Amino acid sequence: MNLEQRMARLERRNNLLTTLLCLIVVGGVGLAARQPGLASGVPDQIVARTFRVIGEAGKNEATLSATPDGFVILSFQDLQGNQRFGVLMTPSGKVSLTWFNSKRARLEVGVTDAAGREAYTVTLRDPGGKVIWQPPTPNPY
């Protein structure tokens, strides 16, 4: 076999290998596109300690976070950066909802610990933070 025949043989092998490699890459991309979530560009799950969603002007936002000591918090801020609403879950799984004015909590509804059991409570506060109404006794269930 002379040099020209060997070169022609190597070129044919090279062309065949290049074609096979292209088919494998195109097939792999096609399989990946068929996976759930990947075809639409949306992952099935995102894991983080905090998520912040910020308005276009960068002023209003919502935050979802988990603290190292076991609390989970969802809060909403207005255009001035004041917290207006929050949901808090304690490490033991008790949940409370709080509505705020521009400076303080005004209305709280939630579950609290009361002498070794759960109590459901509602607290209404004035703009200065002073309690102006609560049920006469905690509401144990």
pLDDT at site 141: 54
User: Do 37 and 55 fall within a single domain?
Assistant: no
Q: What is the mean pLDDT of the chain?
A: 80
User: Do 18 and 65 fall within a single domain?
Assistant: no
Query: Does pTM surpass 0.75?
Result: no
Average pLDDT over residues 52-57: 87
Tally of domains in the chain: 2
User: Do 6 and 38 fall within a single domain?
Assistant: yes
User: Do 58 and 122 fall within a single domain?
Assistant: yes
pLDDT in tens, 57-108: 888 899 999 999 999 999 999 998 899 999 999 888 889 999 999 889 999 9
pLDDT at site 46: 83
Q: 30 lies in which domain range? A: 1-44
User: Do 93 and 122 fall within a single domain?
Assistant: yes
pLDDT at site 139: 59
User: Do 93 and 126 fall within a single domain?
Assistant: yes
65-73: which pairs have CB atoms within 8 A and are 24 or more residues apart? none
